[in-house]
Amino acid sequence: MDIDIAGKLFPNITTLIVQLLSTGVMLFVFKRYLWSPVQAYFEKRADFIENQIDEAKEMNEKAKTFVVESEKQARDSAREYRDIVERAKSDALKVRDDIIVEARKEAASKIEQAEKEIAAEKVQARADMKEEIVDIAMDVATKIMKKEMNTKENEKLVNEFVEEVIK
């Protein structure tokens, strides 16, 4: 058995050249027709992913901005609400005070009018009383003139006069 070890260890030159040439042709065809479209596809894909990331970052920034703005608007709205409530309270207190002042003025006016009416009635009552006293005095004087003058009679007439005035 004769085994050609050297032939088995070293490849056949023609086979090697054919294999190298076919590999070269395949690389040339791959490079010429497939490499550029694949590179373009990967580049488009990378651009798309990069754009998606940029858009996500931009949207995140907008969201943060909107959150900050909405928090600011919420604080402003709360402050405005408190201001409105405070103004309403102060307006209500002012209206209450105005009503109280008006009621006091009206009460004072009514009290003053009542006092005037009471004073007028007192004056009228005094005038009526004076007139009645004068009438009684005239009656008494007339009776005294008709009767004769004595102390007991005068005392009795005075007592009657006083009784009539007291009634």
Domain-located, residue 4: no
Structural domain range at position 154: 10-166
Residue 132 domain flag? yes
The end-to-end CA distance of the chain, in Å, is: 178
Dihedral sign of CA atoms 84, 87, 88, 89 in order: positive
Is position 3 within any domain? no
In contact, 140 and 161? CB cutoff 8 Å? yes
> Using one digit for the tens of pLDDT, what is the confidence trace for 60-83?
999 999 999 999 999 999 999 999
Establish if 113 belongs to a structural domain: yes
Query: Do the domain assignments include residue 141?
Result: yes
pTM of full prediction above 0.85? no
Tokens 């990331």 belong to residue: 53
Is residue 5 assigned to a domain? no
Instruction: Please say if the pLDDT value at position 84 is more than 90.
Output: yes
Cα–Cα distance, 51 to 140 (Å, whole number): 129
Q: What is the CA radius of gyration of the chain?
A: 65
**Number of domains, the chain:** 1
Predicted pLDDT at 49: 96
